[in-house]
Amino acid sequence: MSVPEDKGNAPEKVCPRNAYAAFFHALCADDTNAVIRAASELYECPVLLTDEHYRLLYQYPEHRLGQSIWDSLHDTGVLPLDTIWEYQQAFLSDTPSIYEPFYADWGPAAEVPRIFGEVYTPAGRILGHFAIFKMDRPLGPYDLEVAGILAQALEIRLSQRHSRDASSAGCLIDLLSDESSPQSRLFASSVLSKRLKSGFCVMCTPVGKSAAGRAFAASAVDRLCLTFRNTVSAVYGDCIVTLFGEMSGRIQTDRERGFLTRAAETLKTSYPVSGISACFSALSDIGKYYRQAYYTALLEQKGTIFYTDEAPRPLFMQLAGSDAAEAYIHPALPEIFLYDQKHNTQYFMTLHAYSLSMHNKDAAADTLRIHRNTLMYRLNRIEELFSLPYEDERTALHLLNSFQIWDILNRTGQPHSV
């Protein structure tokens, strides 16, 4: 940690120069608890530290204070889920996925104002949370800056702890991260292969990009892993990613689908949609199956969605996220769409139904609720008006893909030229 210059000769005990000295000595002690004790002595306030799942790691002083949150952690070692959710919604619902230290003296913190802080790696992996209970002390001019220095010190210590733990969740993140070295991936595969029986599938449950959704997700992960065996789960990016083992084949059986649906439903109260990948046998392939599950989840607003039921739609969901998506739409589609608007015709929806039915005339007519002869009349008019050889194999494939891109762009509200 580099030491910045103090803002003048401040008389306050809580200032950057004192903080760097206190935390440096605490780090030399090779003891995370020493960092918390140093912070408590510096602020002259109670300070506590939890892990990413809001399980107590240390609090100083080490006795009850008559304050509900402090005493609950002292007695049980973990915060109840409803308490975590209340705090996240009150303070973090509008913040980015990670947050800098902040002061709160309203809502759940009205009784005892606090400085809240999050400990995270440069890659955005959450390692823990701390709180400085200000009690009756006012917020000082350097309090938040020093809390940021405390977060740096704790990141150094907790990163070492996570490295030693080699947890299954950490290994899952190492396998998913593009920043992981080949050696880290190999080690992670080795750990997880001992934890889970082959084959595998991945479930992605979007939690949103706010700090509230992301922080509460850590507790949801805990609950999921305690409930279901042969499962490893972690918060990665804006999702809860869950790796399941012991899948029997490339496509899940009805029994396996029931099990996976029940797992998704444990998260449903807070996170209503989950996408589930196809099955695979090599952990080294997890990245592509994670993307399968992720883009499958984005297809709908709620429910449990299986990639094998939706393929290839998730591919177009991924494409829709790029600026180039519209370039792959057949140029006849915007023309037909605008012609319908001008002339009150239904050629676009007719060609849409015919294309997505794989040129099954009876199925398309049933979808449109029109007579087969009416369908044939409209298709002939489309060919004449727009010089569109829709039965040509390459043109038919282009139209099929174009309609799927069109539908995804409209569903996600992304702009396009029509």
User: 136 Cβ partners below 8 Å, 6+ apart?
Assistant: none
Domains of the chain plus CATH, in order, are 16-164 (3.30.450.40), 168-311 (3.30.70), 325-411 (1.10.10.2840)
DSSP state letter for 102: E
Residue 113 corresponds to which tokens in the numbers above?
């104002």
The strand pair at 126-133 and 102-104 is best described as: unpaired
Alpha-carbon 26 to chain mean position? 34
Q: What is the DSSP string of 10-48?
A: ---SSSHHHHHHHHHHHHHTT-HHHHHHHHHHHHTS-EE
- pTM reported for the whole predicted model: 0.62
Sequential pLDDT tens for the chain (418 residues):
444 444 444 457 889 999 999 999 998 877 789 999 999 999 999 999 998 878 899 999 999 999 988 999 999 988 777 787 788 787 777 777 778 999 999 998 998 999 999 998 887 778 889 999 999 899 999 999 999 999 999 998 887 655 544 478 888 988 998 888 888 888 889 889 988 988 999 999 998 877 666 667 777 787 787 788 889 998 888 899 999 999 988 889 999 999 999 999 988 888 899 999 999 999 999 999 999 999 999 988 899 999 999 988 888 888 777 777 888 899 999 999 999 999 999 999 999 999 999 999 999 999 999 999 999 999 999 999 999 999 999 999 999 999 999 988 887 655 455 5
Q: Fill in the DSSP letter of residue 199.
A: -
The rounded distance, in Å, linking the Cα atoms of 135 and 185 is 46
